[in-house]
Amino acid sequence: MEKKDLTAADVWAMFAETDRKMQETDRIMQENARQMAESHRLLSEKLAENDRILTEKFEKLGITVKDINSNVVGIGNSNGEYAEDYFYNSLKKKMEFAGVHFDDISTDFKLLRKTPDGRRIEDQFDIVMLNGEAAAIIEIKYKARKDDPKQIVNQKVSNFRFLFPDYAKLKIYLGLAAFTFEESAEKEAKELGIGLLRQVGETVEYETNWVRAY
């Protein structure tokens, strides 16, 4: 096939076609943006209308958003209190954790102290078991999540020693008790040497073979 040389007219025609296509693309993009904006407007109006209808229904029933939030918080607090009582009763019967016998058990370890540089350190420990050589700190969760084990190690150990200097030199054993565990929480706890307590049927199962002292 004979190769055809491009003329100036051919080049200008190519530029014109490219410009036409770019303008068409720009038009399509503007149309898409307009349609998206319209969809967002319609969705916002629909959500606002749904919110208005729900608010009216709640007001007719004498219910406010504050009431709903209070109920949600109350349910969360009740779950936490139930979990704490459940595991506390089991530990109190055994008075043992990770093969170590303890003389005392308490849920009253909460304190606020200032550091020498004026910082305020405040913490609460769900269950603490003590003997003359060691302490066991058991944190209670309704559901144990991924970051819970790290928080126990990074925060609870140092805070306990600072807030309660009489026990600062004791060995500290850590436990995480919950009704359900995220798989990542179990894995993290084992790697950090934290014992696990969980409900199995009518009893509490203790998994402490990997527990180490801090």
Question: pLDDT tens across 87-122, in order?
Answer: 999 999 999 999 999 999 999 899 999 999 989 999
Final residue belonging to a domain, choices 18, 35, 63: 63
Has residue 166 been placed in a domain? yes
Question: Is 135 within a domain?
Answer: yes
Q: Which domain holds residue 97?
A: 83-207
Tell me, what's the pLDDT at 78?
46
Q: How far is CA 167 from CA 8, 111, 209, in A?
A: 92, 14, 24
Residues 6+ positions from 136 with CB-CB distance below 8 Å? 97, 98, 100, 102, 127, 128, 129, 130, 172, 173, 174, 175
Does residue 36 lie in a domain region?
A: yes
Could you tell me if 100 and 136 are in contact, meaning their C-beta atoms sit under 8 angstroms apart?
A: yes
Give, for all 214 residues of the chain, the pLDDT tens digit. 555 666 767 667 776 777 787 787 778 877 777 777 676 676 667 666 766 776 666 566 655 555 545 444 444 444 457 788 899 999 999 999 999 999 999 998 999 999 999 899 999 999 999 999 999 999 999 899 999 999 999 999 999 999 999 999 999 999 999 999 999 999 999 999 999 999 888 889 999 999 999 9
What's the pLDDT score for residue 178? 94
202 domain-assigned: yes
Residues 47 and 88 in one domain: no
**pLDDT the model gives residue 206:** 96
- Cβ–Cβ < 8 Å for 159, 139: no
Domain co-membership, 114 together with 41: no
CATH number, domain at 169?
3.40.1350.10
- Token reading at 78: 């009740």
Compute φ and ψ for 155, nearest 5 degrees.
Answer: -110, -50
pLDDT of residue 58: 58
Q: Is residue 75 a part of any domain in this protein?
A: no
Q: Determine contact, residues 141/178, Cβ cutoff 8 Å.
A: yes
The DSSP secondary structure of 177-194, one letter per residue, reads EEEEE-HHHHHHHHHTT-
For residues 27 and 119, state if they share a domain.
no
Query: Is residue 77, in this structure, part of any structural domain at all?
Result: no
Do 126 and 27 reside in the same domain of the chain? no
Both 164 and 89 in a single domain?
Answer: yes
The number of distinct structural domains making up the chain is 2
Contacts for 28 with CB less than 8 Å, ≥ 6 apart: none
Same domain, 93 and 56: no
Quick one: pLDDT at residue 14? Answer: 73
